[in-house]
Amino acid sequence: MSANKRILLVLTSHDDLGGRRKTGFYVGEAAHPWREFIDAGFTVDVASIAGGTPPQDGFDEADTVQREFLTDDRIAAQLASSPKLGDVSAGDYDAVLLVGGHGTMWDFPGSEALAALGRDIYESGGVLAAVCHGPSGLVNTKLTDGTPLVAGKTVAGFTNEEEAAVKLTDAVPFLLADKLTEQGAHHVAAAPFTEHVEVDGRLVTGQNPQSARAVGAEVVKLLNG
């Protein structure tokens, strides 16, 4: 690992929310951790499952941090032509953040590249983080010995109650909280749409968009610890 901490934001390439509407990565869930990382002096890169320009969702024009993220020279250039995740090496990074957005529910779980990246960053002593629907990238991630990475770990992620509140229970391919539980995780749900982060060793997970900044802050603490 380099002396200058490097963080990778992993973004979905999927833009169809079960035929309901367009989706993608949730901009605030990338922007607010990014702000925590760059304020700590870290270098931040982005990659997406398929490469190219990842689809966006949830952009809030009134959110200064989101605007700064999208117009930052380094980030804007990478979002215009992001590397394909399979071409990225875990060894180049100290931490990986799986950014949420409903699109992740389709392409994160089946990505062999993402499963390998999560395993490699975690087993090499790095920090693995995910927010909102980003933990969908953890449901099929296994350690080298074949056990699910989340087995026995306390995690947060978008809850069944939150999915029902946004009326998308029937649109998503599975319910994230249930799938994490099936993999042996202890999924903890806080009140809907309130900040909630779980830190279990070097695994950091956040429940919803409201938890994005705090996820970034916890990753910074671990890397500076």
d(CA 49, CA 99): 12
- Per the residue annotation, which of 102, 133, 187, 196 is the catalytic one? 133
163 is catalytic: yes
- Per the residue annotation, which of 29, 36, 163, 198 is the catalytic one? 163
133 is catalytic: yes
Q: pLDDT confidence of 164, banded at 50, 70, 90?
A: very high
195 is catalytic: no
Q: pLDDT confidence of 41, banded at 50, 70, 90?
A: very high
CB 9 within 8 A of CB 46: yes
In this predicted structure, what is the pLDDT of residue 3?
A: 54
In this predicted structure, what is the pLDDT of residue 1?
A: 41
Q: Considering only CA atoms, which of 130, 153, 104 is closest in space to residue 211?
A: 130
Residue-wise pLDDT for 101-149, tens only, equals 999 999 999 999 999 999 999 999 999 999 999 999 999 999 999 999 9
Residues 6+ apart with CB under 8 A from 133: 26, 100, 101, 102, 104, 105, 108, 157, 158, 176
Length of the chain: 225
Q: Is the pLDDT of residue 37 over 60?
A: yes
Q: Is the pLDDT of residue 162 over 50?
A: yes
Question: Average of pLDDT values for 199-207?
Answer: 98
Torsion angle of the four alpha carbons 46, 127, 188, 100, in this order, in degrees rounded to the nearest 10: 0
10 Å CB burial of residue 77 (0-12, 13-18, 19+) is exposed
- Per the residue annotation, which of 36, 132, 196, 218 is the catalytic one? 132
Q: What is the 3-state secondary structure (H, E, C) of 202-219?
A: CEEEECCHHHHHHHHHHH
Q: Is the pLDDT of residue 82 over 60?
A: yes
| Domains of the chain, each with CATH number or no CATH | 6-224 (3.40.50.880)
d(CA 107, CA 126): 23
d(CA 79, CA 101): 16
Identify the DSSP state of 94: S
> How many helices (H) and strands (E) in the chain?
8, 10
Alpha helices (runs of H) in 7-97, residue ranges in sequence order: 27-39, 64-71, 73-80
Residue 64: CB atoms within 10 Å: 11
CB 206 within 8 A of CB 219: no
Token code pair at residue 201: 């060793």
Please, what is the average pLDDT of the chain? 97
